[in-house]
Amino acid sequence: MMSIGILPCQGSSNTGMMTNKVTLNKVDGKEFKTVCALGLPLGIEGIIKNAKSNEGFVALNGCPIKCASKALLSVGIDDFKEITVTDLGIQKNGNMKDETGIEKLSDKLDEVVESLRKIQ
């Protein structure tokens, strides 16, 4: 079984919060593990080591700024799949409790994970 690290952006918008919620629903500590969005660019050795122990990665970006992708790139992880919530037609707004479109994001994550499994 492939170990997949999922990095949610966790940004301060509805789309950022959705990346975190979808990740929490997927992470099981075995096949799916969360990667710390802050620990990577801050250079925290243990977090980087844990992140790099995964065999596949998904960056869940809330918006076109793509902070999750940039965090992975900051530690030399450049072989990853990327999802940007706003690319799915979900509007970014200031209401962090707005989960409109979260099912679409969850379905997209499932699709990307399945594509990673096929590569294995």
Q: Is 78 left (phi over 0), alpha (psi -120 to 50) or beta?
A: alpha
Average pLDDT over every residue of 76-101: 96
Tokens 């969850």 sit on residue: 106
CA angle 118, 76, 112 (to 5 degrees): 25
Task: Please name every residue paired with 7 in a beta bridge, in sequence order, or none if there are none.
Answer: 59
Query: 33 near 27, Cβ under 8 Å?
Result: yes
Average pLDDT over every residue of 1-10: 92
Average pLDDT over every residue of 97-108: 97
97, two tokens: 């409790």
Checking if the pLDDT of 1 tops 80, the result is no
pLDDT score for 29: 83
% of the chain beyond a pLDDT of 70 = 99
pLDDT score for 83: 98
pLDDT score for 120: 62
Residue spans per domain, the chain: 4-119
